[in-house]
Structure 1
């Protein structure tokens, strides 16, 4: 029994020596000591960077372009999470998502002022330089369309005040005594901004509100009416594929001013009721650049990524073109549109990143 045990011990010792001989010799430093072990692959893994997707086309494009560069240029995995706007705002505040590429600040005034003042969310500047939003109607409603056999239904419609004369043109089928306004998506703060404006313009008792539950439903309401040659009055914004595809007219409003927007803010924030809104609240949206924001924690976790995001800005005319490309038969989806942009506008995006990052992105594209 002892002899058998001794034999097995010799076999085990020999096996251990053989395994040791097969291992590469550890390097030594100048003192003769072995260096500290290198971090494992698991330790070097980078955390996922999460983008909020509130479901509109230019945001899809901006997310896809930023995500491609971050993933292939900086080596971070990227995830895009579909959220309603209220949930997205809450999520970037708590750090459940890291990036919102389009902060339409005028529509989220109370939240934006609070989180940026507290430093929870950091504004990284423009995603694009010019935005327009307001109330639109198809041009054929005003001018007609001879090719489609459409007669003008509201030839004198120029301003929002003129809408008082055209409730029958934009008649609510469920309540024929009033017109219907296709408002912003349910949950968007701008839907309440529009209510304040209707009160200020004396239109609140003349129109009902239809609030779609998603950007797809909003687009369908406008595009569906347009294709049929029917009148439609709706809130919308630019740049978008829809505005690039259909001939729409933005109704005139009094110019933006701070006093007006201060009263609108009071209503949106709940300081005053809709009954207390006055004519002061009647003014256009401010035409500004649309900014991007990140959770403050991302700056500490991935400063090279936030440097890139801060530099990233696509001119509005180009973003309009990309939105039209996304809506065309040439594009499969926003990811495909991002590749199209990166392949055709290297002179622009290479300015946003260091040379080695640009080289890595180029290699991925090839």
Structure 2
């Protein structure tokens, strides 16, 4: 009978009798001495609502467990180096499209650990609204982009006689310039200043029914609102993973935070909804992360166990 009064068994009884999941998590993690450090865990924001939401779900979950979290704004490409150096403890935005080679370099350094996929399946590449097929009937094959009539339809006053290709921000590392050169595509590449600027350029063209071709990514509220397709290239890779990376030295100091990172799982619908609220509803990654955590208390509480 005396053994039943020990703290660990009292915690177990609380959980078994159906105490609210958040209270249960607090009891379990207090036994594990969370937080193990008073030093903030550094998490990246890259000013792209999809990646920032995923990172914020991790960061806000850690805050609920008692950790201090510091969000650090970095370029998309810089996050991979920052995880190697320890300037960032983690990154949950290692897209295995544009970021596949940077991920490999980070892991090859020996300083970074792969904690597996986030569960979010993404597609990135060259995209066009469906109505562009009227001007380029061979789409979605990339061979359509060599047709002079198609190129003319996609040209602007600034790019003629070449077609205009609206790329992502330069730090995303899309390597679209290499694709244009390799496939000898008659297009001028124009980088967007930000993800918001990229979508605004697309939306302006769509509103005028002007042919447009540019970089796009899913999940995204924009592609649900505006039907379109990705151009099919020989190296196209749809539905690939977003990985979770961590600096080995930093994550070893916070084992409960490491368990959360290991088990964290989202899906692309979660991301698309959050993006819509951030991009169009004036919300923030942190607010959307908190809303998701409140709605999925049972799911995220299991991540720390």
| Structure 1 residues 348 and 227: CA distance shift in structure 2, 3 A | farther
Pairing partner for 1:351 from 275, 296, 302: 302
1:86-235 alignment, distance < 5 Å: 86-142=77-133, 152-165=134-147, 166-190=150-174, 192=175, 194-203=176-185, 206-235=186-215
Pairing partner for 2:239 from 287, 305, 326: 287
Query: Is 1:244 matched up with 2:224?
Result: yes
Shift of 1:210: 0.4
CA–CA distance in structure 2, aligned partners of residues 64 and 106 of structure 1: 21
TM-score (norm 2): 0.80
- Identify the structure with bigger relative contact order (alpha carbons < 8 Å, sequence gap 6+): 2
CA–CA distance in structure 2, aligned partners of residues 175 and 140 of structure 1: 21
CA–CA distance in structure 2, aligned partners of residues 227 and 346 of structure 1: 40
1:38-95 CA-partner distances (Å, limit 9, x unpaired) = xxxxxx861011111122111121122111110121x111111111123322222211
1:322 alignment counterpart: 274
Give 3-state SS (helix, strand or coil) of 2:261's partner. Answer: helix
Give 3-state SS (helix, strand or coil) of 1:137's partner. Answer: strand
| Structure 1 residues 197 and 175: CA distance shift in structure 2, 3 A | closer
Give 3-state SS (helix, strand or coil) of 2:243's partner. Answer: strand
Give 3-state SS (helix, strand or coil) of 1:130's partner. Answer: strand
1:279-302 CA-partner distances (Å, limit 9, x unpaired) = xxxx21353211011111222221
| Structure 1 residues 347 and 327: CA distance shift in structure 2, 3 A | farther
Is 1:160–1:201's contact at 8 Å kept on the other side of the alignment? no
Query: Is 1:81 matched up with 2:72?
Result: yes
Shift of 1:328: 4.5
- Taking only aligned residues, the RMSD between alpha carbons, in angstroms, comes to 2.3
CA–CA distance in structure 1, aligned partners of residues 182 and 136 of structure 2: 22
CA–CA distance in structure 2, aligned partners of residues 157 and 323 of structure 1: 28
The number of equivalent residue pairs is 269
CA–CA distance in structure 2, aligned partners of residues 120 and 177 of structure 1: 48
CA–CA distance in structure 1, aligned partners of residues 101 and 128 of structure 2: 29
Q: Is there any run of 5+ residues in structure 2 with no aligned partner, and where?
A: 1-35
Is 1:138–1:248's contact at 8 Å kept on the other side of the alignment? yes
Is 1:298–1:306's contact at 8 Å kept on the other side of the alignment? no
Q: Is there any run of 5+ residues in structure 1 with no aligned partner, and where?
A: 1-43, 143-151, 255-282, 355-366
1:67-78 alignment, distance < 5 Å: 67-73=59-65, 75-78=66-69
Deviation beyond 4 Å, 4+ runs, structure 1:
none
TM-score (norm 1): 0.68
